[in-house]
């Protein structure tokens, strides 16, 4: 099943209702410039991991499920301990966790820098501190959890580049921190946007992100989501 933008979502976008979840990008195209520092596409197919946090994980997951080269995406928690990696505890905002997504991608099809370009262009507003759209708290912070020195290098270089380019009206506050662990969220959070397209939260806050992905990145957008089952790894 593909992600279908419902009529209400289209009306909300036309009316500008979803502006709270759209980054304040200065570039007219809406798509940020590609990173000058990036990993080259691999010569052989394999799997690598990226973990990103940018507000409610439903919308970030929905975006990356539509990116070519992405093989699996899970919603979950990063930044805290295993003992507090549950939705009820994380929602208190004092566990150290951020709502995150774990992305398994093929580095022969999409680079880490390309994933970050999508992340900053359509998935999150990196200028908002501890909030995204209607959601407020440290659990909704913008963060890049790197798991290799190369990911750290690419992430920091791209943030510096965007700052030099004045890509946003306000400073980027996205954290770049080492990944200690990723804990999958409860099964009902997985593929939430796909399974609940009429949920008003999805319509207002998350459907526009997928629309913008298709609009700004047609070369790497795919209509059919790369759906994950409730089998979490």
Does residue 20 carry a catalytic annotation? no
Cα(160)–Cα(149) distance, rounded to whole angstroms?
A: 17
Asked if 125 contacts 21 with a C-beta cutoff of 8 angstroms, the reply is: yes
Helices 57-64 and 207-216: crossing angle, nearest 10°? 30
Quick one: which of 111, 183, 178 has its CA closest to 146?
Answer: 178
Token pair recorded at residue 159: 């943030």
| Half-sphere exposure in the Cβ direction for 83 (13 Å, CA) | 2
Q: Which of 9, 50, 52, 56 is catalytic?
A: 56
Active site residues: 56
């Amino acid at each position: 099943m593909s992600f279908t933008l419902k009529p209400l979502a289209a009306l909300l976008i036309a009316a500008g209702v979803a502006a709270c979840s759209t980054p304040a990008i200065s570039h007219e195209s809406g798509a940020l410039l590609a990173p000058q520092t990036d990993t080259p596409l691999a010569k052989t197919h394999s799997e690598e991991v990226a973990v990103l946090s940018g507000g409610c994980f439903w919308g970030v997951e929905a975006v990356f499920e539509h990116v070519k080269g992405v093989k699996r995406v899970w919603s979950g928690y990063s930044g805290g301990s295993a003992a507090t990696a549950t939705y009820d505890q994380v929602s208190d905002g004092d566990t150290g966790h951020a709502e995150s997504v774990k992305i398994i991608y093929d580095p022969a099809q999409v680079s880490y820098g390309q994933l970050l370009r999508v992340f900053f262009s359509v998935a999150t507003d990196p200028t908002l501190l501890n909030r995204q759209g209607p959601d407020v708290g440290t659990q909704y912070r913008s963060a890049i959890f790197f798991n290799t020195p190369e990911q750290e290098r690419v992430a920091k270089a791209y943030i510096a580049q965007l700052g030099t380019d004045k890509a946003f009206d306000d400073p980027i506050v996205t954290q770049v921190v080492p990944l200690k662990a990723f804990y999958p969220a409860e099964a009902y959070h997985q593929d939430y946007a796909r399974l609940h397209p009429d949920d008003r939260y999805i319509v207002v806050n998350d459907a526009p992100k997928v629309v913008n992905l298709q609009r700004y990145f047609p070369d790497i957008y795919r209509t059919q989501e790369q759906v994950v089952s409730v089998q979490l790894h």
